[in-house]
Structure 1
């Protein structure tokens, strides 16, 4: 079975349309259609239901999908093992990271890496940490440097690098700053600005409030922590942010909670069944050298 036809098939599944699949593969839409026609000719049956501009998997397509992913992974892994026989560190390296980690944790690592390995072509994708898990499962990236999921994610290998304490913060003139010891009930009386409900950070905050049977009042949400910091600093609401983001325009609130002090674990994720390129292995080595010495495993 032709791998170029399978690649077109998977691109349509991931994007939902022939035209977007063409953009992803740098092909024209007719070229994508031609590849799918060849695939369907090989199989002797259609694999998509075409309704308007949307393409959805039919029963044959649903059977093909997991096998297509396995075949493409096998080809990619075999190619990578052969390439790795040459010990040179060069070629493409696709990684995903969150905006916060990219701004606050990676600059020196990236600077060192590009100086040491100028022949590597870095492809850095700034996405929500949650999206990195999906991208890694689909084989779009080699690793993600992200906020690690509080719960175990199947098929992926997480590696902790940095313990990231979270603290409640508000502008210096916010009413909460006049209180010496703040209960969760008092905190719940004021609006918050927080990441979206689908994020790991929001889940941490929600769990703390659930333990005390309290409701969160969310004024607005964004997944960009730098934006949350700005909104809190102008007095719009309180927020919960990494301790490393505290500066003179924000006051750390002394909030007393029943649960453990909130924190995130930052690190990287790999797919244990995929062979890392030499470029990715070199990047992992640099990441490991930056690990917190106090981080518990």
Structure 2
């Protein structure tokens, strides 16, 4: 079915004459007549009764006109939806973030994003690095933000910032009283750590391997909050991103250990599928993320 012919037919049917349709569409009456006749021949049905004054739809014409109105209404709706997506007056942003990023870095950024683009639906799933990679592969999310190492040719990976990992322990721990603490002292103490598959744990284990050391894991827990509470309770020490324990350090619930010659920083990664066109919502998010990270590095408050 030729949509141009269909649009001409509907205009004739709605206005009741070839001449009125010709004037409305800025076409000659002969062109209008040719389009309608061509459509009737293609469908094998008479659509309009030609009367001495104007036209009147046949039964087939009324049925087709009803469908045509709905079809062109959907066309207009699709065009409006695309325009709204272009201007971010609608859309959906699906982010997968590892726990440290999702719980401590993203809430402020997502609040700013919502202020700028209030009509975009935001979906944030918090999981470990392995799960986020799986979700990206299966296209369940548009953007991944991870702490762990990512080595997969299917992804476009870049570091968007970094953070510092610091050993912490309860204030009354014997470790806190050691004047010249070494990594060997830590390796001999019970360690509370995130679960296998956690980006934080992977970074720490790789760093310790360079020193030829392994930690004695007393517990492997599924969230940063659980790890912190176990350490505060005196179950052992942990190594955690500094911004995740900042409040507890200020409150005196935890103290930072400073082993000799130990500094551990890690990049935080932004992941997207290779060869996949980013959505307008996800591109706007990445632009805002870069803006806020740059502002934080220069000490500028963007709110």
TM-score normalized with structure 2 length: 0.64
Tell me whether 203-212 or 221-230 shows the greater mean CA deviation.
203-212
Partner of 1:143: 143
Q: Please report how far the alpha carbon of residue 86 of structure 1 lies from its aligned counterpart in structure 2 after TM superposition.
A: 5.7
The 3-state SS of whatever aligns with 2:293 is coil
| CA displacement, residues 120-173 of structure 1 (integer Å, 9 cap, x when unaligned) | 1112112112211111111111101221x3353222112322211001110111
TM-superposition CA deviations, 1:189-229 (whole Å, max 9, x none): 11000112322322222233333333321111123112211
8 Å CA contact 1:128–1:223 kept in 2: the answer is: no
Q: Pick from 278, 281, 290: which aligns with 2:280? A: 278
Distance in structure 2 (CA, Å) of the matches to 1:211 and 1:108: 35
Cα-to-partner distance string for 1:172-193 (whole Å, 9 max, x where unaligned): 1111111122122211111000
| Residues 1:215 and 1:87: Cα distance change in structure 2 (over 3 Å) | closer
Q: Which residue of 2 aligns with 1:236?
A: 235
Matching of residue 193 in structure 1 with residue 197 in structure 2: no
Give me the whole-angstrom Cα distance separating, in 2, the residues matched to 1:212 and 1:200: 19
Unmatched 5+ stretches in structure 1: 1-78
RMSD: 2.4
8 A contact 2:129–2:197 mirrored in 1: no
**Distance 1:86-1:226 versus aligned 2 partners, 3 A rule:** closer
1:86-126 Cα deviation digits (max 9, x unpaired): 62212222111123222211122111111221221112112
Q: What do residues 49-79 of structure 1 show as CA deviations (whole Å, max 9, x unaligned)? A: xxxxxxxxxxxxxxxxxxxxxxxxxxxxxx9
Which residue number corresponds to residue 128 of structure 2? Answer: 128
Q: Is the 8 A contact 1:232 1:239 kept in 2?
A: yes
CA 1:238–1:102: 2 relative to 1, 3 Å:
same
Query: Computing the radius of gyration over CA atoms, which structure comes out larger, 1 or 2?
Result: 2
1:254 to 252, 258, 261: 258
Matches of 2:271 and 2:141 in 1, distance apart?
10
Q: Which residue of 1 aligns with 2:97?
A: 97
1:225 aligns with 2:224: yes
SS in structure 2 at match of 1:159: strand
**1: CA distance, partners of 2:290 / 2:210:** 35
Which has the larger share of helix? 2
Query: What is the CA deviation profile of residues 232-269 of structure 1, one whole-angstrom value per residue up to 9, with x for unaligned ones?
Result: 12211000011122312111111135xx6222222421
* Conserved 8 A contact 1:166-1:240: yes
Report the CA distance between 1:294 and its aligned residue. Answer: 5.6
Matches within 5 A, 1:71-86: 83=82
Q: Which moved more, 1:190-199 or 1:170-179?
A: 190-199
**Normalised TM-score (structure 1):** 0.65
How many matched pairs?
212
Q: Give me the whole-angstrom Cα distance separating, in 1, the residues matched to 2:115 and 2:200.
A: 33
Question: What residue ranges of structure 2 are gaps of 5+ in the alignment?
Answer: 1-77, 299-303
| SS at 2:219 equivalent | strand
